[in-house]
Amino acid sequence: MTAVAASWHPLSPGERSVAIEVLVNGPLSRTELARRLDLSAGSLTRLTKPLIESGLLIEVPEAGAPAEVRTGRPSQPLDVVAESRSFIGFKITDDMVYGVVTTLRSDIVARHDRPLTTHDPAEVADLLAEMAAELARAHGSRLAGIGIGVGGLVRGRAVVGESPFLHWKDVPLAELVEERTGLPVVLENDVAALVEAETWFGAGRGLDRFVVLTIGAGLGYGLVLGGHRVSCAEEDRGFGRHWIVDPNGPLTPEGERGSAVSFLTIPNIRYQVNAASGRDHGYEEILALAAAGEPMSARVVDEAARALGTLVAQISNFVMPQKILLAGEGVGLMDVAGETVAETVRAGRHPLAAPVDLETKVSDFHDWARGAAVLAIQVLVLGTAEA
């Protein structure tokens, strides 16, 4: 495995602000960078000089400028070298590990997935180390670190405090993987990692108020205010299990009766249809049956859509986000019942309220793995993102 430690010196708050602005929005001219950060020309020069010397930032020719004009170094835009470092990101589910390699700007350049046949922490760490070596061989030039996303409670970006999917408590996964790979490791709740990636490089870039809502095996929620993800103790403990959408709603193995989790998660949608039909239906099959008008599947999917619309309306009423991103492996619900969701959102909002900007992201688990890599970029290179 080709591994290198991040060679950049620890950044001051001012240097960090400059580096993040260029990373997320660059290339940027010095004039534009100073305007965005409200800095004088002298202050900007003082902050950018060590970043250029360390190799984090470079001066690039201005697009379209004649060669003779490009000699004036102070006028040249600043950018990062996206390929100067690579980062591995992992998303762990109950039965699979999804892995990616990204550039410094989080572009995915390699993928590698493996089945997860055991939940023994040491064996999972062994598998992650094997996958890291395989990803390094495929596209691991100048690896700087690893990010890992796990469903559940994560403490100190190092320990899985509790994961219902893996049946773990107090597992020091970051340490186990660091011992096997020799690379620094950042561990985080998978939804939190996805929110950070979408805030910096995706649907939430440049927004002050932004929400990520995920539906799939579980229900996830992330809130961004002032351009920064709001971290709270509850975010890793099963959002929606106690958010009652309809007190007369379904009673399922997971979540309180009529909760958002009981209505919306894939296991609970399957539970309702399978319990009523006596047959084992997959999620995609249930959506297809609902679209074809099969009564039981159609009823369950319609109720799920109305629950989702109610949830989106309530979030919009209280948070007033500029955008809500709906993601996760369960977003196929929108293809079948998107109009029902939209009608329910409108019914739950004031008639004069601004329309909700609800963006649906058709994605797979590699997007979640990319989110983990973004956490590694934030923490290991820039020393940012609150724990």
Range of the domain at 142: 84-196+367-381
What band does 3 get if pLDDT is binned at 50, 70 and 90? very low
Which of 38, 54, 80 is the endpoint of a domain? Answer: 80
311 burial (CB, 10 Å; 0-12 / 13-18 / 19+) is: buried
* 311/12: higher pLDDT: 311
**pLDDT exceeds cutoff 50 at 5:** no
pLDDT digits (tens, 9 = 90+) for 141-165: 678 899 999 988 999 999 999 998 8
pLDDT digits (tens, 9 = 90+) for 173-194: 999 999 999 999 999 999 999 9
pLDDT digits (tens, 9 = 90+) for 194-238: 999 999 899 999 899 999 999 998 898 999 999 889 887 665 555
Do 97 and 23 sit in the same domain of this protein?
no
What value does the mean pLDDT of the chain take? 88
Instruction: Report how far residue 5's alpha carbon sits from residue 349's, in angstroms, rounded to the nearest whole number.
Output: 51
Residue 328 lies in a domain: yes
Helix (H, G, I), strand (E, B) or coil at 152: coil
Residue in the structure block whose two tokens are 């929110």: 195
Longest dimension (CA), the chain: 76
Instruction: Report how far residue 30's alpha carbon sits from residue 77's, in angstroms, rounded to the nearest whole number.
Output: 6
Which CATH number is 244's domain given?
Answer: 3.30.420.40
Residue 218 makes CB contacts below 8 A (sequence gap 6+) with 151, 165, 238, 261, 265
pLDDT digits (tens, 9 = 90+) for 108-142: 999 999 999 999 999 999 999 999 999 988 775 67
Instruction: Report how far residue 367's alpha carbon sits from residue 331's, in angstroms, rounded to the nearest whole number.
Output: 14
Residue type, 173: L
Do 229 and 309 sit in the same domain of this protein?
yes
The pTM (predicted TM-score) of the whole model is 0.84
Residue 3 lies in a domain: no
Do 129 and 157 sit in the same domain of this protein?
yes
Do 91 and 166 sit in the same domain of this protein?
yes
Handedness of CA 48, 54, 57, 59 (dihedral sign): positive
First to last CA, the chain: 28
Residue 148 lies in a domain: yes
Percent residues over pLDDT 70 in the chain? 90
Instruction: Report how far residue 312's alpha carbon sits from residue 274's, in angstroms, rounded to the nearest whole number.
Output: 27
Instruction: Report how far residue 103's alpha carbon sits from residue 109's, in angstroms, rounded to the nearest whole number.
Output: 7
Structurally, how many domains does the chain consist of? 3
Do 163 and 110 sit in the same domain of this protein?
yes
Which of 46, 62, 80 is the endpoint of a domain? Answer: 80
Residue 329, both tokens: 């492996």
Do 214 and 339 sit in the same domain of this protein?
yes
Q: How far is CA 1 from the centre of its chain?
A: 26
Question: Contact 37/17 with Cβ under 8 angstroms?
Answer: yes
Question: Contact 213/312 with Cβ under 8 angstroms?
Answer: yes
Question: Contact 327/211 with Cβ under 8 angstroms?
Answer: no
Do 263 and 353 sit in the same domain of this protein?
yes
